[in-house]
């Protein structure tokens, strides 16, 4: 999960590079050092985005049959858990390999790179968590480095590692997706766009694919960890771990992604403020102004016959959270907002019929529409 960076809005946000681009650059650097037996300080690689990028190398070592170096990942102004990670590559010529026939490049993960343990991802279970595009980038970068030499007929082993990758992975959803023991080597363009929603939506897609591959019949879409924990406690183990999807603020996207995978009765786990935003039709619950939502709630309350006490509470409140607490999570209020929320979710994904689990601010489930 990502958190927004605070920045001067007049200053453009800076893009960075994916772990896949960093791994390819490190692998090219190591291959060049192995081939030429000299220290290489920087390399330039072609990115899938159609541009070239130059990377500084660190930790260079080389010998007759092996060389290694690393690239420090720069994620730009994107709040990425891998920012600052050392992406290492070691390139070795396999001893005893005859210098003849077709060249072969074998790419594996090392320390801090995860293994796939669940179906549904781009890589089958049992393989290293190095996605197909980065895998091609690494191989192409190494072949370019060796192309002018007579070393191609040899077999070269490339090991990609991130020394603190396992520790960093604990801050991600990797374990739930079935990526165990470290991070993934990712990236389809080579470039990280700052504060982009794509990291979230890619994770939603991957999590839903895993849920489907594991046979889940429904999924729980959570707006945050507190709501997810409340849902897990409330449901008491009736759903497998793979059924819980952290969607963050991306309500419309998650519901549409559910429909594409035939999860047409999803459950949204959230707190009252997010429920109200969903009810007001916000496809992304991070964007809306709270005072506008509260004004809409007051209008609904008057139409829906809420008590004068509850209406007074709403009209005097500054936040949705304040309303929920002051009204002691009034069931009539929750039911009213839920009905509007279900209608709103149907506009995002017309074939779905969404249920809700509403959590209080102590981690307890206080409303269940199933």
- pLDDT tens-digit readout, 95-105: 655 554 446 89
More confident position, 200 or 341: 341
Its pTM stands at 0.80
- Report pLDDT for 292: 72
Q: What are phi and psi of 266, to 5 degrees?
A: -75, 160
- pLDDT reading at 195 higher than 90: no
- pLDDT reading at 256 higher than 90: yes
Percent above pLDDT 70 for the chain: 90
- pLDDT tens-digit readout, 104-137: 899 999 999 999 999 999 999 999 999 999 999 9
More confident position, 57 or 154: 57
- pLDDT tens-digit readout, 221-238: 999 999 999 999 999 989
- pLDDT reading at 313 higher than 90: yes
Q: What is the C-alpha separation between 255 and 257, in angstroms, rounded? A: 5
Instruction: Please compute the mean of the pLDDT values over residues 33-58 and round it to a whole number.
Output: 95
- pLDDT reading at 3 higher than 90: no
Going by pLDDT thresholds of 50, 70 and 90, the confidence category of residue 79 is low
- pLDDT tens-digit readout, 283-296: 988 755 556 789 99
- pLDDT reading at 50 higher than 60: yes
More confident position, 194 or 188: 188
- Report pLDDT for 96: 55
- pLDDT reading at 4 higher than 90: no
Counted residue by residue, the chain has a size of 370
Report the chain's mean pLDDT, rounded to a whole number: 90
Contacts for 310 with CB less than 8 Å, ≥ 6 apart: 301, 327, 330, 332, 333
């Amino acid at each position: 999960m990502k958190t927004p960076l605070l920045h001067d809005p007049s200053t453009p946000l800076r893009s960075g590079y994916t772990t896949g681009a960093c791994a390819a650059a490190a692998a090219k650097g190591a291959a060049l050092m192995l081939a030429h037996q000299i220290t290489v300080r920087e390399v330039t690689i072609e990115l899938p985005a159609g541009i070239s990028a130059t990377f500084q190398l660190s930790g260079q070592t080389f010998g007759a049959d092996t060389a290694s170096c690393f690239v420090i990942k720069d994620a730009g102004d994107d709040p990425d858990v891998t920012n600052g990670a050392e992406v290492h590559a070691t390139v070795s010529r396999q001893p005893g390999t005859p210098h003849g026939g077709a060249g072969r490049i074998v790419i594996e993960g090392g320390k801090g790179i995860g293994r796939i343990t669940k179906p549904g991802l781009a890589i089958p279970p049992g393989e290293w968590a190095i996605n197909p595009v980065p895998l091609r980038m690494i191989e192409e970068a190494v072949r370019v480095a060796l192309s002018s030499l007579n070393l191609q007929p040899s077999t070269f082993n490339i090991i990609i590692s991130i020394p603190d990758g396992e520790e960093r992975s604990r801050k991600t959803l990797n374990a739930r997706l079935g990526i165990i023991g470290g991070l993934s080597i990712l990236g389809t363009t080579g470039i990280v766009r700052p504060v982009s929603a794509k990291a979230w939506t890619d994770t939603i897609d991957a999590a839903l694919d895993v849920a489907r591959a594991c046979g889940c019949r429904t999924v729980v879409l959570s707006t945050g960890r507190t709501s997810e924990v409340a849902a897990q406690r409330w449901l008491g183990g009736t759903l497998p771990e793979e059924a819980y999807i952290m969607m963050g603020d991306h309500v419309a996207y998650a519901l549409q992604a559910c429909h594409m995978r035939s999860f047409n009765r999803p459950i949204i786990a959230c707190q009252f403020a997010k429920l109200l935003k969903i009810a007001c039709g916000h496809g992304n619950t991070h964007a809306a102004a709270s005072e506008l939502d509260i004004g809409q709630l007051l209008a609904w309350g008057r139409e829906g016959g809420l008590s004068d006490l509850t209406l007074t509470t709403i009209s005097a409140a500054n936040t949705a959270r304040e309303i929920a607490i002051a009204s002691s999570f009034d069931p009539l209020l929750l039911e009213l907002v839920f009905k509007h929320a279900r209608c709103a979710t149907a506009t995002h994904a017309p074939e779905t019929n969404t249920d809700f689990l509403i959590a209080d601010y102590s981690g307890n489930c206080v409303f269940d529409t199933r």
